[in-house]
A and B are shown apart, each in its own frame.
Chain A
Protein backbone atom coordinates (compact mmCIF):
# COMPACT_ATOMS: atom_id res chain seq x y z
CA UNK A 1 0.00 0.00 0.00
CA UNK A 2 1.54 3.38 -0.96
CA UNK A 3 1.94 6.01 1.65
CA UNK A 4 -0.72 8.60 1.00
CA UNK A 5 0.22 11.33 3.40
CA UNK A 6 3.47 12.49 4.87
CA UNK A 7 3.84 12.94 8.61
CA UNK A 8 2.73 16.32 9.80
CA UNK A 9 5.32 18.51 11.52
CA UNK A 10 5.29 18.05 15.25
CA UNK A 11 3.50 20.73 17.18
CA UNK A 12 2.00 22.40 14.17
CA UNK A 13 -1.69 22.94 14.57
CA UNK A 14 -2.86 22.26 11.11
CA UNK A 15 -6.07 20.97 9.79
CA UNK A 16 -5.27 17.81 7.91
CA UNK A 17 -5.74 18.70 4.23
CA UNK A 18 -8.77 16.94 2.86
CA UNK A 19 -7.93 14.66 0.04
CA UNK A 20 -10.10 14.96 -2.99
CA UNK A 21 -12.94 12.47 -2.59
CA UNK A 22 -12.27 9.42 -4.73
CA UNK A 23 -14.66 8.69 -7.56
CA UNK A 24 -17.85 6.91 -6.56
CA UNK A 25 -16.96 3.50 -8.01
CA UNK A 26 -13.60 3.56 -6.29
CA UNK A 27 -15.21 4.44 -2.99
CA UNK A 28 -17.67 1.57 -3.28
CA UNK A 29 -14.85 -0.86 -4.03
CA UNK A 30 -12.89 0.53 -1.09
CA UNK A 31 -15.90 0.04 1.18
CA UNK A 32 -16.29 -3.50 -0.09
CA UNK A 33 -12.67 -4.40 0.62
CA UNK A 34 -13.02 -2.83 4.07
CA UNK A 35 -16.04 -5.01 4.70
CA UNK A 36 -14.30 -8.11 3.39
CA UNK A 37 -11.35 -7.41 5.64
CA UNK A 38 -13.61 -6.83 8.67
CA UNK A 39 -15.40 -10.10 8.06
CA UNK A 40 -12.13 -11.93 7.53
CA UNK A 41 -11.22 -10.95 11.08
CA UNK A 42 -14.62 -12.09 12.31
CA UNK A 43 -14.95 -15.38 10.48
CA UNK A 44 -13.02 -17.68 12.83
CA UNK A 45 -14.74 -16.55 15.98
CA UNK A 46 -18.15 -16.45 14.33
CA UNK A 47 -17.81 -19.96 12.96
CA UNK A 48 -17.14 -21.24 16.46
CA UNK A 49 -20.12 -19.36 17.88
CA UNK A 50 -22.32 -20.64 15.07
CA UNK A 51 -21.23 -24.26 15.46
CA UNK A 52 -21.00 -24.52 19.24
CA UNK A 53 -23.50 -21.98 20.57
CA UNK A 54 -26.19 -20.94 18.11
CA UNK A 55 -26.61 -24.20 16.22
CA UNK A 56 -26.78 -26.42 19.38
CA UNK A 57 -29.46 -24.12 20.82
CA UNK A 58 -31.64 -24.61 17.73
CA UNK A 59 -30.71 -28.25 17.51
CA UNK A 60 -31.78 -28.93 21.10
CA UNK A 61 -35.29 -27.78 20.22
CA UNK A 62 -35.37 -29.82 16.99
CA UNK A 63 -34.07 -33.05 18.54
CA UNK A 64 -36.48 -32.67 21.45
CA UNK A 65 -39.22 -33.59 18.96
CA UNK A 66 -37.29 -36.41 17.28
CA UNK A 67 -36.22 -39.90 18.00
CA UNK A 68 -32.53 -39.44 17.55
CA UNK A 69 -29.76 -42.02 17.50
CA UNK A 70 -26.41 -40.95 16.11
CA UNK A 71 -25.78 -42.62 12.79
CA UNK A 72 -29.36 -43.26 11.74
CA UNK A 73 -32.01 -40.94 10.31
CA UNK A 74 -33.93 -38.97 12.92
CA UNK A 75 -37.66 -39.57 13.11
CA UNK A 76 -40.26 -36.99 14.11
CA UNK A 77 -42.19 -38.17 17.15
CA UNK A 78 -44.04 -35.03 18.28
CA UNK A 79 -44.14 -34.56 22.05
CA UNK A 80 -43.35 -38.22 22.83
CA UNK A 81 -39.97 -37.34 24.32
CA UNK A 82 -41.58 -34.84 26.65
CA UNK A 83 -44.31 -37.21 27.85
CA UNK A 84 -41.81 -40.03 28.35
CA UNK A 85 -39.44 -37.82 30.33
CA UNK A 86 -42.30 -36.37 32.39
CA UNK A 87 -43.48 -39.88 33.30
CA UNK A 88 -40.04 -40.83 34.61
CA UNK A 89 -40.14 -40.86 38.44
CA UNK A 90 -36.57 -39.55 38.37
CA UNK A 91 -37.81 -36.41 36.62
CA UNK A 92 -39.70 -35.19 39.67
CA UNK A 93 -36.81 -36.18 41.93
CA UNK A 94 -34.31 -34.36 39.71
CA UNK A 95 -36.29 -31.11 39.64
CA UNK A 96 -37.07 -31.26 43.34
CA UNK A 97 -33.40 -31.91 44.16
CA UNK A 98 -32.17 -29.19 41.83
CA UNK A 99 -34.56 -26.59 43.22
CA UNK A 100 -33.78 -27.61 46.81
CA UNK A 101 -30.06 -27.49 46.04
CA UNK A 102 -30.41 -24.01 44.58
CA UNK A 103 -32.48 -22.81 47.53
CA UNK A 104 -30.05 -24.23 50.08
CA UNK A 105 -27.09 -22.85 48.14
CA UNK A 106 -28.78 -19.47 48.26
CA UNK A 107 -29.45 -19.67 52.00
CA UNK A 108 -25.99 -20.95 52.90
CA UNK A 109 -23.85 -19.85 50.02
CA UNK A 110 -25.23 -16.39 49.64
CA UNK A 111 -25.49 -14.91 53.12
CA UNK A 112 -22.12 -16.21 54.31
CA UNK A 113 -19.96 -14.58 51.60
CA UNK A 114 -21.70 -11.26 52.11
CA UNK A 115 -21.12 -11.32 55.87
CA UNK A 116 -17.53 -12.47 55.33
CA UNK A 117 -16.87 -9.68 52.86
CA UNK A 118 -18.44 -7.19 55.26
CA UNK A 119 -16.12 -8.30 58.08
CA UNK A 120 -13.03 -8.60 55.87
CA UNK A 121 -13.56 -5.07 54.62
CA UNK A 122 -13.24 -3.82 58.19
CA UNK A 123 -10.01 -5.66 58.94
CA UNK A 124 -6.86 -3.59 58.71
CA UNK A 125 -4.29 -6.38 58.89
CA UNK A 126 -3.31 -9.36 56.76
CA UNK A 127 -5.74 -8.34 54.01
CA UNK A 128 -3.75 -10.06 51.27
CA UNK A 129 -3.60 -13.25 53.31
CA UNK A 130 -7.39 -13.41 53.69
CA UNK A 131 -7.96 -12.75 50.02
CA UNK A 132 -5.57 -15.46 48.91
CA UNK A 133 -6.87 -18.01 51.39
CA UNK A 134 -10.53 -17.48 50.59
CA UNK A 135 -9.83 -17.83 46.87
CA UNK A 136 -7.59 -20.89 47.22
CA UNK A 137 -10.43 -23.46 46.99
CA UNK A 138 -11.66 -21.84 43.78
CA UNK A 139 -8.34 -22.69 42.15
CA UNK A 140 -8.52 -26.32 43.20
CA UNK A 141 -10.16 -28.25 40.34
CA UNK A 142 -13.84 -28.96 41.17
CA UNK A 143 -13.22 -32.67 40.70
CA UNK A 144 -10.51 -32.56 43.34
CA UNK A 145 -12.72 -30.62 45.77
CA UNK A 146 -15.48 -33.16 45.23
CA UNK A 147 -13.14 -36.12 45.82
CA UNK A 148 -11.62 -34.36 48.81
CA UNK A 149 -15.01 -33.87 50.45
CA UNK A 150 -16.12 -37.37 49.54
CA UNK A 151 -13.19 -38.49 51.66
CA UNK A 152 -14.10 -36.04 54.47
CA UNK A 153 -17.69 -37.35 54.45
CA UNK A 154 -16.54 -40.94 54.83
CA UNK A 155 -18.69 -42.35 57.67
CA UNK A 156 -15.73 -44.20 59.22
CA UNK A 157 -12.51 -42.21 59.31
CA UNK A 158 -13.88 -39.08 57.61
CA UNK A 159 -12.77 -35.71 58.86
CA UNK A 160 -16.36 -34.37 59.02
CA UNK A 161 -17.43 -36.88 61.66
CA UNK A 162 -14.09 -36.52 63.46
CA UNK A 163 -14.80 -32.82 63.82
CA UNK A 164 -18.27 -33.56 65.20
CA UNK A 165 -16.82 -36.06 67.68
CA UNK A 166 -14.20 -33.53 68.71
CA UNK A 167 -17.00 -31.07 69.49
CA UNK A 168 -18.99 -33.81 71.25
CA UNK A 169 -21.79 -33.58 68.71
CA UNK A 170 -23.71 -36.53 67.23
CA UNK A 171 -22.16 -37.81 63.99
CA UNK A 172 -23.97 -37.72 60.66
CA UNK A 173 -24.21 -39.88 57.56
CA UNK A 174 -23.34 -36.84 55.43
CA UNK A 175 -23.38 -37.68 51.75
CA UNK A 176 -24.37 -41.29 52.47
CA UNK A 177 -27.69 -40.47 54.13
CA UNK A 178 -30.77 -39.89 52.00
CA UNK A 179 -31.81 -36.87 54.06
CA UNK A 180 -28.37 -35.30 54.49
CA UNK A 181 -26.81 -35.99 51.09
CA UNK A 182 -28.13 -32.89 49.34
CA UNK A 183 -27.04 -30.46 52.02
CA UNK A 184 -23.63 -32.15 52.13
CA UNK A 185 -23.25 -31.35 48.44
CA UNK A 186 -24.33 -27.74 49.04
CA UNK A 187 -21.55 -27.43 51.62
CA UNK A 188 -18.97 -28.65 49.10
CA UNK A 189 -20.21 -26.31 46.38
CA UNK A 190 -20.25 -23.37 48.78
CA UNK A 191 -16.75 -24.12 50.05
CA UNK A 192 -15.40 -24.42 46.55
CA UNK A 193 -17.04 -21.33 45.03
CA UNK A 194 -17.30 -18.86 47.85
CA UNK A 195 -13.98 -17.12 47.11
CA UNK A 196 -15.11 -15.47 43.90
CA UNK A 197 -18.28 -14.11 45.50
CA UNK A 198 -16.38 -12.75 48.50
CA UNK A 199 -13.89 -10.94 46.26
CA UNK A 200 -16.63 -9.39 44.13
CA UNK A 201 -18.45 -8.20 47.24
CA UNK A 202 -15.23 -6.78 48.64
CA UNK A 203 -14.73 -4.76 45.46
CA UNK A 204 -18.32 -3.51 45.67
CA UNK A 205 -17.93 -2.57 49.35
CA UNK A 206 -14.76 -0.65 48.60
CA UNK A 207 -16.56 1.49 46.06
CA UNK A 208 -18.96 2.84 48.70
CA UNK A 209 -18.01 6.46 49.47
CA UNK A 210 -16.89 6.80 53.09
CA UNK A 211 -18.80 10.07 53.53
CA UNK A 212 -22.06 8.14 53.45
CA UNK A 213 -21.05 6.20 56.55
CA UNK A 214 -19.81 9.36 58.19
CA UNK A 215 -23.08 11.18 57.50
CA UNK A 216 -25.13 8.22 58.75
CA UNK A 217 -23.07 8.07 61.91
CA UNK A 218 -23.55 11.80 62.53
CA UNK A 219 -27.27 11.21 62.17
CA UNK A 220 -26.96 8.68 64.98
CA UNK A 221 -27.19 5.46 62.97
CA UNK A 222 -25.74 2.46 64.78
CA UNK A 223 -23.79 -0.35 63.13
CA UNK A 224 -26.80 -2.40 61.98
CA UNK A 225 -28.62 0.69 60.77
CA UNK A 226 -25.56 1.70 58.77
CA UNK A 227 -25.49 -1.74 57.15
CA UNK A 228 -29.18 -1.57 56.42
CA UNK A 229 -29.38 1.97 55.13
CA UNK A 230 -25.96 2.48 53.55
CA UNK A 231 -24.17 -0.79 52.76
CA UNK A 232 -27.06 -2.81 51.38
CA UNK A 233 -28.61 -0.08 49.21
CA UNK A 234 -25.16 0.84 47.85
CA UNK A 235 -24.35 -2.76 46.87
CA UNK A 236 -27.88 -3.82 45.93
CA UNK A 237 -27.14 -4.02 42.22
CA UNK A 238 -24.14 -6.30 42.73
CA UNK A 239 -26.09 -8.43 45.21
CA UNK A 240 -28.97 -8.90 42.78
CA UNK A 241 -26.73 -9.70 39.81
CA UNK A 242 -24.67 -12.20 41.79
CA UNK A 243 -27.85 -13.82 43.07
CA UNK A 244 -29.13 -14.28 39.52
CA UNK A 245 -25.80 -15.69 38.36
CA UNK A 246 -25.60 -18.03 41.32
CA UNK A 247 -29.12 -19.35 40.82
CA UNK A 248 -28.42 -20.02 37.15
CA UNK A 249 -25.10 -21.70 37.98
CA UNK A 250 -26.44 -23.90 40.77
CA UNK A 251 -29.42 -24.98 38.66
CA UNK A 252 -26.80 -26.64 36.42
CA UNK A 253 -24.96 -28.51 39.16
CA UNK A 254 -23.36 -31.75 37.97
CA UNK A 255 -19.82 -32.45 39.19
CA UNK A 256 -20.59 -32.78 42.92
CA UNK A 257 -23.50 -35.25 42.61
CA UNK A 258 -21.70 -37.20 39.87
CA UNK A 259 -18.44 -37.55 41.80
CA UNK A 260 -19.59 -37.70 45.42
CA UNK A 261 -22.91 -39.52 45.47
CA UNK A 262 -23.55 -40.79 41.95
CA UNK A 263 -27.10 -39.43 42.28
CA UNK A 264 -27.85 -41.59 45.30
CA UNK A 265 -28.80 -42.56 47.89
CA UNK A 266 -32.33 -43.31 46.67
CA UNK A 267 -32.16 -40.63 43.96
CA UNK A 268 -31.69 -38.00 46.67
CA UNK A 269 -29.06 -36.13 44.67
CA UNK A 270 -30.05 -36.69 41.04
CA UNK A 271 -30.10 -33.24 39.46
CA UNK A 272 -31.60 -32.10 36.19
CA UNK A 273 -28.24 -31.91 34.44
CA UNK A 274 -27.30 -35.31 35.82
CA UNK A 275 -30.54 -36.71 34.41
CA UNK A 276 -29.76 -35.11 31.03
CA UNK A 277 -26.38 -36.84 31.14
CA UNK A 278 -28.01 -40.17 32.03
CA UNK A 279 -30.54 -39.95 29.21
CA UNK A 280 -27.82 -39.23 26.67
CA UNK A 281 -25.01 -41.51 27.79
CA UNK A 282 -26.66 -44.30 29.79
CA UNK A 283 -29.98 -44.71 27.98
CA UNK A 284 -28.64 -43.47 24.61
CA UNK A 285 -31.87 -41.48 24.39
CA UNK A 286 -30.80 -38.17 22.85
CA UNK A 287 -34.39 -37.11 22.19
CA UNK A 288 -35.21 -37.39 25.88
CA UNK A 289 -31.96 -35.62 26.83
CA UNK A 290 -32.78 -32.72 24.50
CA UNK A 291 -36.37 -32.54 25.77
CA UNK A 292 -34.96 -32.17 29.29
CA UNK A 293 -32.42 -29.59 28.08
CA UNK A 294 -35.17 -27.53 26.47
CA UNK A 295 -37.21 -27.62 29.69
CA UNK A 296 -34.19 -26.43 31.70
CA UNK A 297 -33.47 -23.76 29.10
CA UNK A 298 -37.04 -22.47 29.09
CA UNK A 299 -37.28 -22.55 32.86
CA UNK A 300 -34.05 -20.58 33.33
CA UNK A 301 -34.92 -18.22 30.47
CA UNK A 302 -38.29 -17.32 31.97
CA UNK A 303 -36.75 -17.09 35.40
CA UNK A 304 -34.03 -14.64 34.35
CA UNK A 305 -36.46 -12.56 32.30
CA UNK A 306 -38.82 -12.20 35.26
CA UNK A 307 -35.95 -11.59 37.65
CA UNK A 308 -34.40 -8.91 35.47
CA UNK A 309 -37.78 -7.25 34.97
CA UNK A 310 -38.44 -7.20 38.71
CA UNK A 311 -35.00 -5.87 39.57
CA UNK A 312 -34.57 -3.47 36.68
CA UNK A 313 -35.91 -0.43 38.52
CA UNK A 314 -33.57 -1.09 41.43
CA UNK A 315 -30.64 -1.56 39.07
CA UNK A 316 -31.33 1.78 37.44
CA UNK A 317 -31.45 3.51 40.79
CA UNK A 318 -28.04 2.34 41.91
CA UNK A 319 -26.17 1.75 38.66
Chain B
Protein backbone atom coordinates (compact mmCIF):
# COMPACT_ATOMS: atom_id res chain seq x y z
CA UNK B 1 0.00 0.00 0.00
CA UNK B 2 1.34 3.34 -0.94
CA UNK B 3 0.48 6.44 1.01
CA UNK B 4 -1.85 9.10 -0.26
CA UNK B 5 -0.18 11.68 -2.51
CA UNK B 6 -1.27 14.79 -4.37
CA UNK B 7 -3.78 12.93 -6.51
CA UNK B 8 -6.27 10.73 -4.70
CA UNK B 9 -6.51 7.02 -5.55
CA UNK B 10 -10.22 7.55 -6.23
CA UNK B 11 -9.49 10.17 -8.90
CA UNK B 12 -6.98 7.81 -10.50
CA UNK B 13 -9.49 4.97 -10.58
CA UNK B 14 -11.98 6.93 -12.68
CA UNK B 15 -11.79 6.36 -16.45
CA UNK B 16 -10.70 9.95 -17.05
CA UNK B 17 -8.13 9.71 -14.28
CA UNK B 18 -6.79 6.52 -15.79
CA UNK B 19 -6.49 8.10 -19.22
CA UNK B 20 -4.66 11.14 -17.83
CA UNK B 21 -2.39 8.93 -15.74
CA UNK B 22 -1.31 6.76 -18.65
CA UNK B 23 -0.80 9.78 -20.89
CA UNK B 24 1.43 11.43 -18.30
CA UNK B 25 3.20 8.14 -17.64
CA UNK B 26 3.98 7.63 -21.34
CA UNK B 27 5.05 11.25 -21.69
CA UNK B 28 7.45 11.02 -18.76
CA UNK B 29 8.74 7.67 -19.97
CA UNK B 30 9.51 9.12 -23.41
CA UNK B 31 11.00 12.28 -21.91
CA UNK B 32 13.30 10.36 -19.57
CA UNK B 33 14.38 8.00 -22.30
CA UNK B 34 15.13 10.87 -24.67
CA UNK B 35 16.79 13.13 -22.12
CA UNK B 36 18.77 10.72 -19.99
CA UNK B 37 19.09 7.36 -21.72
CA UNK B 38 19.49 8.47 -25.32
CA UNK B 39 22.65 10.56 -24.76
CA UNK B 40 24.21 7.57 -23.02
CA UNK B 41 23.14 5.28 -25.85
CA UNK B 42 24.55 7.80 -28.34
CA UNK B 43 27.90 7.73 -26.55
CA UNK B 44 27.99 3.91 -26.41
CA UNK B 45 27.18 3.51 -30.10
CA UNK B 46 29.20 6.52 -31.27
CA UNK B 47 32.33 4.72 -30.20
CA UNK B 48 31.69 1.72 -32.46
CA UNK B 49 30.87 3.75 -35.59
CA UNK B 50 33.48 4.41 -38.21
CA UNK B 51 34.98 7.92 -38.23
CA UNK B 52 33.00 8.72 -41.40
CA UNK B 53 29.75 7.49 -40.01
CA UNK B 54 30.04 9.44 -36.76
CA UNK B 55 30.48 12.70 -38.70
CA UNK B 56 27.61 12.06 -41.10
CA UNK B 57 24.43 14.14 -41.34
CA UNK B 58 21.78 13.01 -40.83
CA UNK B 59 23.28 10.64 -38.27
CA UNK B 60 22.56 6.92 -38.12
CA UNK B 61 20.65 5.81 -35.07
CA UNK B 62 21.92 2.25 -35.25
CA UNK B 63 25.56 1.88 -36.30
CA UNK B 64 25.86 0.45 -39.82
CA UNK B 65 29.07 -1.32 -39.07
CA UNK B 66 30.45 -2.24 -35.70
CA UNK B 67 34.09 -1.41 -35.11
CA UNK B 68 35.61 -2.34 -31.81
CA UNK B 69 38.79 -0.62 -32.88
CA UNK B 70 37.58 2.61 -31.25
CA UNK B 71 37.79 0.92 -27.87
CA UNK B 72 41.07 -0.87 -28.49
CA UNK B 73 42.65 2.28 -29.94
CA UNK B 74 41.51 4.33 -26.96
CA UNK B 75 42.91 1.72 -24.60
CA UNK B 76 46.31 1.81 -26.27
CA UNK B 77 46.72 5.29 -27.78
CA UNK B 78 45.47 7.19 -24.76
CA UNK B 79 47.30 4.98 -22.26
CA UNK B 80 44.02 4.36 -20.50
CA UNK B 81 45.37 1.54 -18.31
CA UNK B 82 47.85 3.97 -16.73
CA UNK B 83 45.26 6.68 -16.13
CA UNK B 84 42.61 4.25 -14.91
CA UNK B 85 45.12 2.74 -12.51
CA UNK B 86 46.06 6.25 -11.28
CA UNK B 87 42.40 6.99 -10.67
CA UNK B 88 41.90 3.71 -8.82
CA UNK B 89 44.94 4.38 -6.62
CA UNK B 90 43.81 7.93 -5.88
CA UNK B 91 40.23 6.91 -5.11
CA UNK B 92 41.19 3.89 -3.01
CA UNK B 93 43.72 5.86 -0.98
CA UNK B 94 41.33 8.75 -0.42
CA UNK B 95 38.71 6.25 0.71
CA UNK B 96 41.08 4.50 3.12
CA UNK B 97 42.45 7.71 4.63
CA UNK B 98 38.96 9.12 4.99
CA UNK B 99 37.52 6.00 6.57
CA UNK B 100 40.38 5.60 9.05
CA UNK B 101 40.98 9.21 10.04
CA UNK B 102 37.41 10.54 9.82
CA UNK B 103 36.04 7.55 11.72
CA UNK B 104 38.63 7.95 14.46
CA UNK B 105 37.99 11.69 14.73
CA UNK B 106 34.21 11.25 14.66
CA UNK B 107 34.45 8.56 17.35
CA UNK B 108 36.57 10.83 19.54
CA UNK B 109 34.21 13.79 19.08
CA UNK B 110 31.14 11.66 19.70
CA UNK B 111 32.20 9.39 22.54
CA UNK B 112 35.55 10.34 24.10
CA UNK B 113 34.68 13.86 25.32
CA UNK B 114 37.91 15.63 24.40
CA UNK B 115 38.45 19.11 25.85
CA UNK B 116 37.61 21.73 23.23
CA UNK B 117 35.51 19.06 21.49
CA UNK B 118 32.74 21.57 20.83
CA UNK B 119 35.16 24.14 19.46
CA UNK B 120 36.80 21.56 17.20
CA UNK B 121 33.44 20.36 15.91
CA UNK B 122 32.42 23.97 15.31
CA UNK B 123 35.63 24.57 13.37
CA UNK B 124 34.99 21.50 11.26
CA UNK B 125 31.38 22.40 10.55
CA UNK B 126 32.36 25.98 9.70
CA UNK B 127 34.27 24.61 6.68
CA UNK B 128 30.91 23.50 5.27
CA UNK B 129 30.05 27.18 4.90
CA UNK B 130 33.25 27.99 3.00
CA UNK B 131 32.95 27.46 -0.75
CA UNK B 132 35.53 24.72 -1.28
CA UNK B 133 36.54 25.55 -4.84
CA UNK B 134 37.27 29.15 -3.90
CA UNK B 135 40.12 27.89 -1.73
CA UNK B 136 41.86 25.68 -4.28
CA UNK B 137 44.68 28.15 -4.97
CA UNK B 138 45.95 28.55 -1.38
CA UNK B 139 45.36 24.81 -0.90
CA UNK B 140 47.50 24.18 -3.97
CA UNK B 141 50.26 26.37 -2.53
CA UNK B 142 50.16 24.44 0.75
CA UNK B 143 50.42 21.14 -1.08
CA UNK B 144 53.31 22.58 -3.12
CA UNK B 145 55.09 23.71 0.06
CA UNK B 146 54.74 20.21 1.49
CA UNK B 147 56.33 18.82 -1.67
CA UNK B 148 53.27 16.74 -2.52
CA UNK B 149 52.73 17.84 -6.12
CA UNK B 150 52.43 14.87 -8.48
CA UNK B 151 52.05 12.64 -5.43
CA UNK B 152 48.81 10.73 -4.71
CA UNK B 153 49.05 12.06 -1.14
CA UNK B 154 47.92 15.38 -2.63
CA UNK B 155 44.57 13.69 -3.25
CA UNK B 156 44.49 11.46 -0.18
CA UNK B 157 45.19 13.92 2.62
CA UNK B 158 42.92 16.81 1.56
CA UNK B 159 40.14 14.25 1.04
CA UNK B 160 40.17 13.63 4.81
CA UNK B 161 39.18 17.26 5.44
CA UNK B 162 35.61 16.43 4.47
CA UNK B 163 33.31 17.96 7.06
CA UNK B 164 30.19 16.44 5.55
CA UNK B 165 31.34 12.84 5.85
CA UNK B 166 32.83 13.40 9.30
CA UNK B 167 29.59 14.93 10.54
CA UNK B 168 27.59 12.07 9.03
CA UNK B 169 29.74 9.59 10.98
CA UNK B 170 29.59 11.61 14.18
CA UNK B 171 25.80 11.85 14.03
CA UNK B 172 25.57 8.11 13.55
CA UNK B 173 27.93 7.38 16.45
CA UNK B 174 25.88 9.74 18.65
CA UNK B 175 22.95 7.36 18.29
CA UNK B 176 24.87 4.43 19.72
CA UNK B 177 23.88 4.26 23.38
CA UNK B 178 26.64 5.03 25.84
CA UNK B 179 25.58 2.05 28.01
CA UNK B 180 26.72 -0.39 25.35
CA UNK B 181 30.18 1.14 25.24
CA UNK B 182 30.40 1.41 29.02
CA UNK B 183 29.49 -2.24 29.39
CA UNK B 184 32.32 -3.14 27.04
CA UNK B 185 34.69 -0.92 28.95
CA UNK B 186 33.79 -2.64 32.20
CA UNK B 187 34.57 -5.91 30.47
CA UNK B 188 38.03 -4.50 29.90
CA UNK B 189 37.92 -3.38 26.30
CA UNK B 190 40.10 -0.40 25.39
CA UNK B 191 38.88 2.56 23.34
CA UNK B 192 40.32 1.17 20.11
CA UNK B 193 38.86 -2.27 20.78
CA UNK B 194 35.44 -0.69 21.43
CA UNK B 195 35.65 1.22 18.16
CA UNK B 196 36.73 -1.84 16.22
CA UNK B 197 34.48 -4.51 17.75
CA UNK B 198 31.36 -2.57 18.69
CA UNK B 199 31.05 0.82 17.01
CA UNK B 200 32.21 -0.13 13.52
CA UNK B 201 30.08 -3.28 13.13
CA UNK B 202 27.04 -1.25 14.25
CA UNK B 203 27.85 1.48 11.75
CA UNK B 204 27.87 -0.54 8.56
CA UNK B 205 25.13 1.48 6.81
CA UNK B 206 26.77 4.85 7.39
CA UNK B 207 30.21 3.48 6.52
CA UNK B 208 28.75 2.26 3.22
CA UNK B 209 27.30 5.68 2.44
CA UNK B 210 30.54 7.48 3.35
CA UNK B 211 32.55 5.00 1.29
CA UNK B 212 30.43 5.59 -1.79
CA UNK B 213 30.55 9.37 -1.36
CA UNK B 214 34.34 9.23 -0.94
CA UNK B 215 34.92 7.08 -4.03
CA UNK B 216 32.55 9.05 -6.25
CA UNK B 217 34.04 12.38 -5.16
CA UNK B 218 37.56 11.42 -6.21
CA UNK B 219 36.48 9.73 -9.42
CA UNK B 220 34.45 12.77 -10.49
CA UNK B 221 36.84 15.52 -9.44
CA UNK B 222 38.56 17.53 -12.12
CA UNK B 223 39.91 20.92 -11.02
CA UNK B 224 41.99 19.67 -8.09
CA UNK B 225 43.79 16.82 -9.92
CA UNK B 226 44.26 19.18 -12.88
CA UNK B 227 46.17 21.48 -10.57
CA UNK B 228 48.27 19.01 -8.61
CA UNK B 229 49.22 16.54 -11.35
CA UNK B 230 51.24 18.31 -14.02
CA UNK B 231 53.05 15.05 -14.71
CA UNK B 232 51.05 13.34 -17.49
CA UNK B 233 51.87 9.84 -16.26
CA UNK B 234 50.34 10.56 -12.85
CA UNK B 235 47.10 12.11 -14.06
CA UNK B 236 43.76 10.47 -13.36
CA UNK B 237 41.49 9.66 -16.25
CA UNK B 238 39.35 12.82 -15.97
CA UNK B 239 42.35 15.10 -16.47
CA UNK B 240 43.94 12.89 -19.12
CA UNK B 241 40.71 12.84 -21.15
CA UNK B 242 40.61 16.62 -21.40
CA UNK B 243 44.33 16.93 -22.13
CA UNK B 244 44.15 14.31 -24.88
CA UNK B 245 40.79 15.32 -26.31
CA UNK B 246 42.34 17.93 -28.62
CA UNK B 247 44.33 15.75 -31.00
CA UNK B 248 42.52 12.47 -31.07
CA UNK B 249 39.98 10.98 -33.43
CA UNK B 250 36.40 11.50 -32.27
CA UNK B 251 35.44 7.81 -32.17
CA UNK B 252 38.51 7.03 -30.07
CA UNK B 253 37.73 9.88 -27.69
CA UNK B 254 34.13 8.70 -27.31
CA UNK B 255 35.33 5.18 -26.56
CA UNK B 256 37.65 6.58 -23.90
CA UNK B 257 34.73 8.53 -22.43
CA UNK B 258 32.70 5.33 -22.19
CA UNK B 259 35.58 3.53 -20.50
CA UNK B 260 36.01 6.41 -18.04
CA UNK B 261 32.32 6.29 -17.10
CA UNK B 262 31.96 2.53 -16.75
CA UNK B 263 33.35 2.00 -13.22
CA UNK B 264 31.09 4.59 -11.57
CA UNK B 265 28.02 3.65 -13.59
CA UNK B 266 28.60 -0.03 -12.82
CA UNK B 267 29.00 0.74 -9.12
CA UNK B 268 25.80 2.76 -9.23
CA UNK B 269 23.83 -0.01 -10.90
CA UNK B 270 25.08 -2.55 -8.35
CA UNK B 271 24.54 -0.41 -5.26
CA UNK B 272 21.73 1.81 -6.56
CA UNK B 273 19.35 0.90 -3.74
CA UNK B 274 21.87 1.99 -1.09
CA UNK B 275 23.02 5.06 -3.01
CA UNK B 276 19.51 6.34 -3.59
CA UNK B 277 18.55 5.60 0.02
CA UNK B 278 21.68 7.44 1.17
CA UNK B 279 20.89 10.55 -0.87
CA UNK B 280 17.29 10.60 0.30
CA UNK B 281 18.15 10.00 3.96
CA UNK B 282 20.97 12.51 4.07
CA UNK B 283 18.70 15.22 2.76
CA UNK B 284 15.55 14.96 4.81
CA UNK B 285 17.39 14.83 8.10
CA UNK B 286 19.39 17.95 7.30
Contacts and interface: CB of A to CB of B under 8 A. Distances in A.
B144 to A, nearest CB: 6
Interface residues of B, number: 109
Interface stretch (A21-29, A75-83, A119-127): A119-127
Contact of A63 (B132, B138, B190, B264): B138
Interface in A8-46: 34-35, 37-39, 41-42, 44-46
A124 B158 CA distance: 44
B223 A207 contact: no
A137 B36 contact: yes
Mostly helix, strand, loop or mixed at chain A's interface?
helix
Given A124-B2, A137-B36, A144-B241, A42 B131 contact: no
B220 A141 contact: yes
B24 A119 contact: yes
A293 B133 CA distance: 9
A118 B158 contact: no
B279 A200 contact: yes
Interface stretch (A86-94, A175-183, A276-284): A276-284
A134 B268 CA distance: 12
Nearest to A277: B223
Contacts, number: 303
Interface string B119-152: 0100110010111111111111111101000000
Contacts of A162: 57-59
Contacts of B276: 131-132, 135, 199
A174 interface: no
B134 A132 contact: no
Mostly helix, strand, loop or mixed at chain B's interface?
helix
B16 interface: no
A106 interface: no
Interface in B253-286: 253-254, 257, 260-261, 264-265, 267-269, 272, 275-276, 279-281, 283-284, 286
B185 to A, nearest CB: 9
A7 B131 contact: no
A205 interface: yes
